[in-house]
Amino acid sequence: MKFGVVVFPGSNCDRDMQDALQDDLNQEVIMLWHKDKDLSMFSTEDCIVLPGGFSYGDYMRCGAIARFSPMMQSVIEFAQKGGKVLGVCNGFQILCESHLLPGVLLRNANQQFICRNVYLKGIGSDKALKIPIAHGEGRFYADDATLNKLEANNQVIYRYCNENGEITAEANPNGATRNIAGICNEQRNVFGMMPHPERATSAALGNTDGRIVLQSLIMGVTAVTEKAALVNF
């Protein structure tokens, strides 16, 4: 699998993602500038990544301006053809603004920027993964009809939990509805999450749980285990 990492003005996790995929997971990575449009070097077996940061300064709603960039028009077409797309933090916000994923990311319930490790529980697993978060607008919200549809289709991929894997209100760092930390689309080729797996792939940092998330893209499995995880990529 080949990865393309989109770089917007204000992206600040693009190189983190590149290093995680390229150096820690030995994958081919191509950096993509927001003003470009060409994705011809990628097949639908590859993956485009929208990294974290503050695209275009987040001067409007987070991700609202990036949604209209030339590269995002190509990414939307790529996803509609079945290509794989991963959005992390600001990338998740961009996916929701682009309507590639349902719901919105609202201001954190405590009205503060949060930067710390949290625990996530993936679909079909009892294992709690320790993954960093760093966001001010990470509170996932959707109406009840949308939430019930996500639940029925097993599109809720990750929920915030405590270190024992228990999904509790206390373990929810931002007030996200139903503790939702990550979702995918119905076709299971577009995936968004607020936590940063790319910041947890190096043994030098004392945590490699992020590899489980990113390896799921490479291995194409559907169940979260200690060796691989989650979306049917």
Known catalytic residues? Answer: 89, 196, 198
Long-range contacts at 227-232 (CB < 8 A, ≥ 24 apart): 229/122, 229/125, 230/122, 230/123, 230/157, 230/158, 231/157, 231/184, 231/188, 231/191, 232/188
List the beta bridge partners of residue 115: 134
C-alpha separations of 65 from 68, 70, 142 in Å: 6, 11, 21
Q: DSSP label at 127?
A: P
Stated length of the chain:
233
Under 8 Å CB-to-CB from 35, ≥6 apart: which residues?
A: 69, 70, 71
Q: 174 CB contacts (<8 Å, ≥6 apart)? A: 108, 109, 110, 114, 133, 135, 138, 139, 194
